[in-house]
Amino acid sequence: MNNRQAEIAATLDVVPPFTDEAALVAEIERRKAFIKNALRQSGLKVLVLGISGGVDSTTAGRLAQLSVEELRAETGDDSYRFIAVRLPHNVQHDEHDAQDSLAFIRADENTTVNIAAGVNGLSEQLTHLQQLSEARRDFVLGNVKARIRMVAQFAIANAHNGLVIGTDHAAEAVMGFFTKFGDGACDIAPLSGLVKKQVRAIASYLGAPQHLVQKTPTADLEELRPGKPDEEAHGVSYAEIDAFLHGEKVSDEAYASIVRTYDATRHKRELPRVP
């Protein structure tokens, strides 16, 4: 591991590779304890998370449900609960995966908010979008979708005096692969510091369906390219990103791309600048 790799891994609090199953189980228990402590310290009883059908929300959702179940058992307080939220834009092309995810998570409550009307209503008022190329407009509206989804999650959390869960982890954080004030906004981020293969390992250990564990990751925000793979947007694979974060040797091209993207997206990982 060179100095830059070490610096970035330390900044993102990257979790070392799991050496065995015991290390994996210990990490699961640590993550559940974090979620439970976040609720206790906040004095709140409800967790809210948007479920897309990908491995990240599937894993975070199951950890959330297990955590509130443990809190109910430990305290005798049945008001601890988890709300899983579907947030499609019209009809999601991989809705079957989202439903499989919900079936695995077994949340206390499932609810659906279709964001299409909100996104369309807002876009109609944004005259600045009309002058953009079709591709650029599609990209901008993709970020609008992410932000509307988070507005919906916080509204549900506010209605129930709860906390919103985010799904950011180290392999996305290093690439700045999240929408600022969209999926990057949350109250707690229980996957933080994990690389992609560790998220998959946790999901697999918890019993998630393998087609969700191994599913090609996608933000799925663009209408012109539904299901566009994350790795295509990154220009590097998650295997290379994970290896970089764990201090392993990667190609010169992958190293340069990851460092360049990390530096360019620094503002997304920081609080707003002040005088």
**pLDDT the model gives residue 234:** 86
Q: pLDDT at residue 1 above 70?
A: no
User: What pLDDT digit, counting tens, does each position of 25-52 carry?
Assistant: 999 999 999 999 999 999 999 999 999 9
Question: pLDDT category, 2, cuts 50, 70, 90?
Answer: confident
Q: pLDDT at residue 138 above 80?
A: yes
Quick count: other Cβ atoms within 10 Å of Cβ 188?
19
Choose among 107, 27, 113, 95: nearest CA to 61: 107
Q: Ramachandran region of residue 89, left (φ > 0), alpha (ψ -120 to 50) or beta? A: beta
pTM above 0.85, yes or no: yes
Element (H, E) at 81: strand 81-86
- N-to-C CA span, the chain: 36
Choose among 121, 120, 186: nearest CA to 151: 186
Task: In whole angstroms, give the CA distance from residue 57 to residue 247.
Answer: 26
The token duo for 162 is 């709860």
What is the residue type of 233? A
* 35 close to 20: Cβ distance less than 8 angstroms: no
Catalytic residue among 27, 56, 108, 242: 56
Catalytic residue among 97, 100, 108, 172: 172
The H-assigned helical ranges of 14-88 are 21-42, 55-75
Task: In whole angstroms, give the CA distance from residue 69 to residue 45.
Answer: 11
Q: Which domains does the chain have, with CATH numbers?
A: 18-228 (3.40.50.620)
Per the annotation, the verdict on 172 as an active-site residue is yes
Average pLDDT, the chain: 95
Task: In whole angstroms, give the CA distance from residue 38 to residue 190.
Answer: 10
Task: In whole angstroms, give the CA distance from residue 190 to residue 124.
Answer: 36
Which residue reads 């919900």 in tokens? 102
Per the annotation, the verdict on 263 as an active-site residue is no
Per the DSSP assignment, residues forming a β-bridge with 47 are 82, 163
